[in-house]
Amino acid sequence: MSINSPKQTSHIKREILVRLIKAFLSDNFEENTRLIPYDMRPKGSEVPFRCCIYKERAILRDRTIAGLGDSIEETDDTELLSDVAKEAFKREKPDSRPLTVLTTACQGCVPSRIYVTDLCQGCVARPCESACKFGAIKVTDGKSKINPEKCKNCGMCVQVCPYQAIQKIIVPCENACPVGAISKNDDGFAQIDFNKCIACGKCAVACPFGAVHEKSQIIDILKNVKSGKKVIAMVAPALMGQLPCTPKQMRAAILKLGFADVYEVAQGADITTKNEAEEFIERMEDGEEFMTTSCCAAYNQLVEKHIPEMKPYRSNTKTPLYYTAEIVKREHPDALTVFFSPCVAKRTEAMQNPNVDYVLNYKELGAWFIAKDIQVDECSESEFKTEASAEGRNYAITGGVAKAVQSLLPEEIPTHAVIIDGLNKQTVKDLKKYAKNGMCELGNLIEVMSCTGGCLGGNSTFNGYKYASKQLKTYVDSSKSITNTVDI
């Protein structure tokens, strides 16, 4: 049995989305949806990943359910995919929980623990004993032994062993979660505690079996587009680094899907920049020690659920999506809005904003283009109605938000930016320390991005970061500076 690489699991998810979209656009959505697992693994076909064709079909069925926007945990095993599709079509509002766990795909990994291998030499120095603050490791009969009742899995013994004889077994999804929101249930399978979950999506990326799955809203969006409703797309800047085309070609391709208009969220970012710069100046003049940015949805969830003491230091400025959706609803009060997102967390933010109706991630958009046979790089160009700034478009890159705010600060306001390039257990610990102490010794403007590399490294992106950043830089470099744009 081979383990799916992240690339392989992404390909499987994309194929299911493409088939699901084609099924929706066909004359028999429900029946063609039911057949997806059988069409992907027909009788007599190769079984590339699991023990048998029936196991693979069961997993494909569950992936299709997630693609339909439903929770695996709440769907009866006996329910036909055609019935799930029928209910998805009737749905009036997407599920508020953005992730679901496929127990059929979950490997039920062994518990995370530290253990001593046969490489242990029982050396005289015994650095493992000295390093352990909990007295959990002792050398007995010429070999180190760990007392599991005392061990805290801190890993200090792993770091100091000169023979690398002590190893740590990790559970990928649990290890990736910065807030301990995912763990094993009584049956040994992964489960998500949504009271702790910040929707960062790191568990979904980390699982080598693709068992943690984002719940799609593609059916909800397709239904409204097909019915002829005015549906407007709001595209985050990171999208411009995903496909080998110009931003204007991207706009034209999205219009081909049936959207009435396309707005750049970068224009909302310009409002965020100006408001956040004004707020920072006011805070510094009032003698405050530091301020964090507030545009990352996962970080905002982190503050709300895990670091409430950070609230006084987090900017009160709204996100670029908030301001963009406000503009769209003001100009098109009868329209439905769809945010094109690079990450899972924006689904949570959208559920809290009445001006955002749906969220479509970049992988779903790519599948839609494939299903409709739209060659994006062959589309004619379509002009955006409002010009966004270089700084607003650069929000997609780590450091871009802080750089944008700094560009509008006067010289008499001393600014030292601190960049949190990805949330993990250590950076969460650092943020808790800053909040508790009421100061950050490294600087006074803290930019926090949940994903390493910023939105361009989001868990729902598909182009390599190196190529995506190069492509986005071309777009940013061709844009006007925010200092040269009209006041918002």
Distances (CA, A) of 389 to 264, 265, 324: 11, 11, 14
Contact in structure between 236 and 455 (CB atoms under 8 Å): yes
Q: How far is CA 30 from the centre of its chain?
A: 30
DSSP-assigned letter for residue 292: E
pLDDT profile of the chain (488 residues), mean per 10 = 54 95 98 97 87 93 97 93 97 94 90 92 94 94 93 93 94 95 92 97 94 96 97 97 96 98 97 98 97 97 98 98 98 98 97 97 97 97 93 97 97 95 97 97 97 96 93 95 67
Contact in structure between 137 and 128 (CB atoms under 8 Å): yes
Q: How far is CA 197 from the centre of its chain?
A: 12
Distances (CA, A) of 314 to 285, 301, 303: 16, 12, 9
Residue 7, pLDDT score: 67
Residue 108, pLDDT score: 85
Domains with residue ranges and CATH for the chain: 6-107+183-216 (no CATH), 113-169 (3.30.70.20), 220-484 (3.40.950.10)
Residue 486, pLDDT score: 44
Cα–Cα–Cα angle for 143, 147, 153, nearest 5°? 105
Residue 45, pLDDT score: 87
State pTM to two decimals: 0.91
Residue type, 240: M
Residue 2, pLDDT score: 31
Tabulate helix, strand, coil % of the chain (nearest 5): 45, 10, 45
Residue 5, pLDDT score: 41
